[in-house]
Amino acid sequence: QVQLVQSGAEVKKPGASVKVSCKASGYTFTSYGISWMRQVPGQGLEWMGWISGYNGNTNYAQKLQGRVTMTTDTSTSTAYMDLRSLRSDDTAVYYCARGSVPGTGRDQVYNWFDPWGQGTLVTVSS
Amino acid sequence: DIVMTQSPDSLAVSLGERATINCKSSQSVLYSSNKKNYLAWYQQKPGQPPKLLIYWASTRESGVPDRFSGSGSGTDFTLTISSLQAEDVAVYYCQQYYSTPITFGQGTRLDIK
């Protein structure tokens, strides 16, 4: 079955960086894009950006431009989200999710999400 | 950015009764060329990731019980649970995928009365 499995919880100090992985299985990785969302505990969902599984094209939320980098490794069907200069308000559960419609163009960012990874809690604290 | 506003923030409904959640977008998410509304609904239970229920505003995802239905067009949308079951207790989110940044509603918490 289609599955996304994320890396484990992280604790980081302010100013540090974190890299979360998202390993896909059960489908052709290069046929779909991956979006990343985050959710502060008890609050709503925030879209962080999208990366094409086909060619690595990205579309980042303007709010995070300059601090976030999304990459893929097609040889292992894994997507990565790197967030730098961490602050306390970056403490959240981070999710990866597959775009539901296959394709290779930049318009694949305009998609609903299914499935989602299990989530990775990133805690930023001094 | 398209702002998604859900109402109410929370509601409590008796088992077997109808639950209705509304979602309003700050601009239309109806794409004129294909006449599709770029709107999805998710269910999230504690400690779990969101689960897709509805896409294209009214298309039920495979495996989702038919008591869940979506309706609406343009800027106003509704998720209806026709007969509430205990397992439907969750937070529900709408999401627009018409433009970036992709945005979600703030969530509606559904409980049993």
Instruction: Extract the residue ranges of chain A whose pLDDT is less than 50.
Output: none
Closest CB from B49, B100, B106 relative to A44:
B106
Q: Which pLDDT band, with edges at 50, 70 and 90, does B91 fall under?
A: very high
Q: Within 13 Å and on the Cβ side, how many CA atoms surround B80? A: 14
**A58: closest chain B residue by CA:** B100
CA distance B83 to A28: 38
**A108: closest chain B residue by CA:** B97
A63-87 pLDDT per residue, tens: 999 999 999 999 999 999 999 999 9
10 Å CB burial of residue A84 (0-12, 13-18, 19+) is middle
